[in-house]
Amino acid sequence: MIFGNSEQCRVQCRGNRSWLPVLALLCCMSSAQAKELLLPLAELRTLAAEGNPQAQYSLGVAYENGEGVSRSPREARSWYCRAAIQGLEDAWYNLGWMYVNGRGVAPDDDVARYWLKKSAAAGNAQAAQVLKMIGGKSGTRNGCNYVATLPWLKQRCTDPDCRSIVRMVEDLSQEYDLDANLVLSVIRFESGFNVRAHSPKGASGLMQLIPETAVRFGVRDIWDVEQNIRGGMAYLRWLLAYFKGDLVKALAGYNAGERRVLQYGGVPPYRETRGYVKRIIRDYGKSFHRYDLRWLDEDSRPVQGLVSGRDAALPAGKG
């Protein structure tokens, strides 16, 4: 079962009186539907970190129910998301369940519908019934934007330092309302996850902040890992608001400065900037990111900025 025992179901029911029909349905989910890997926790963690979706799902179950680990809905959602994005149907259902009942997350019917619809389409009768109960239109958000799911991470980010950066980005992404995968892609192409990276143009740290941008967004110590990430994320979301979600322009602005983007009406004709934008868009897989115009309140002074790359002063095709 999703729950380890009926007592857990009763506890949930006492706290969710309006959802008794849904809870009764979900609590009766058979063990055959939840295919967990019965392995030692250390081995399960290793397999999950390597990208095995079944191990990720099983680790999510463990964290959701506190089985062998301290209960952590945040960790449960994180591992369910990884498995779900790889196409594991059981994870689709469990994510829908978490969001429809607010089990460790803020209740969100839109996110719940997104995953339950996928689960129902795959043949899960319980998911179809829950969808009927909550009603509404199809879900448009998956609730996994704050979870790092880029495919290359499991091969290229295996050491503890890199993983700690990923976890920090996941935590801060929720605060800044940015997709963790976008931030990690920017870090990949800005610094290669080198916390001591320093360019000839004076950009420093993981997100290659120049001193002017650091001051602009409240960074006191540009070499402090968290402050550097915060400064880069603050600037990135400011650009997203400034260019109304147009990720191509926002990335060009991050690389070359927003005034250059305004000057050329789009990506400046710099080889470095054009290549930079293409690489991140290809890696991230999207050209639009949600935005909030209130992010502009953090700073409203377009500045020249410096290009974080090495040869951006050369227009494309000239040298």
Active site residues: 190
User: Cα 15–72–59 angle (5° rounding)?
Assistant: 120
CB atoms within 10 A of CB 199: 16
Quote the CA–CA distance of 253 and 186 in Å, as a whole number: 12
Nearest by Cα to 61 from 38, 43, 86: 38
Angle between helices 20-27 and 89-101 (to 10 degrees): 150
CB atoms within 10 A of CB 164: 11
> CB of 267 within 8 A of CB of 239?
no
Q: Is 307 left (phi over 0), alpha (psi -120 to 50) or beta?
A: beta
Sequence-separated (6 or more) residues with CB below 8 Å from residue 290: 177, 240, 245
Quote the CA–CA distance of 66 and 70 in Å, as a whole number: 5
